[in-house]
Amino acid sequence: MNRRPLIAGIAIAAAAVLALSGCASNPGSGGGGGGDKAPSGPDYGLVTSGTLSVCSDIPYPPFEFEGGDNGTGYTGFDIDLLGAVAKKLDLKLNVQDVGFDALQSGTTLAAGTCDVGASAMTITDARKKNLDFSDPYYDSLQSLLVKTDSGIKSIDDLKGKTVGVQQGTTGENYAKEHAKGAELLQMGSDGDLWPAMQAGQLDAILQDQPVNLEHEKADKSYKIVETYNTDEQYGFAFEKGKKTALLEAVNKALKELRDSGEYKKIYDEYFTAK
């Protein structure tokens, strides 16, 4: 059967209904965007229409941790920055706590669990094989956290020591290459590493400098003895080859936030000494 005449008739009728409804509605009302606002929902291929669904490994302060008043139950630099991005795209924000290893490998995003991964994730060539990344939004260092009375002054003093690292991270890779003679204990998140350190199960933690700095601030019994410039930059992660429109929109929003000074305001909230 030739379906073209029937389809054409339906299209004409639908267009007429849309035109009438457009005249009767207020373009400024409604929750999913309207008028000249940025496209949302299906235009970005979102998991949930009208919502930017974010996956993150929590806690990992100051980038992501429980709290805040944005309605997601979580806050931190990554979360607040993506909240500002979502606002620019006229989208609500939803945050889910997931394991980092599955997130950085691309498994979580490929499963359609969320639209974007935001978890202080370093952009690497290995990860680019399974993920697409936004423009870089943060430059980071690795660091070594120890007890102040440990006698450990550098990575060269770790022989025979137990060093905690987060599985699947660049910190783990750096420790494998440079912490000669150390016993590496891989854990799922900083939420496991920090309590283990406090319980005396670890002699040191090698991970991102801002996270270790939070621990140093919280307990003066611990200090960062070294930082390592690994030329790392964080990016927001997307399912490989599937979220092109959303990726472009996020990059545009990030640029606008930098140009307007809003990015600096969010950055200063977490990283500027007070």
Cα separation, 113 vs 119, in Å, equals: 15
Q: Domain 41-137+235-271: what homologous superfamily?
A: Periplasmic binding protein-like II (3.40.190.10)
Q: Residues 78-135: pLDDT tens digits?
A: 999 999 999 999 999 999 999 999 999 999 999 999 999 999 999 999 999 999 999 9
Architecture of the domain delimited by 140-232: 3-Layer(aba) Sandwich (3.40)
Q: Where are the domains of the chain?
A: 41-137+235-271, 140-232
Neighbours of 110 (CB within 10 A): 14
Neighbours of 51 (CB within 10 A): 18
The two tokens of residue 220 are 């003066």
Name the maximum alpha-carbon separation found in the chain. 84
- Residue 16: pLDDT band by 50, 70, 90 thresholds? very low
Q: Residues 167-220: pLDDT tens digits?
A: 999 999 999 999 999 999 999 999 999 999 999 999 999 999 999 999 999 999
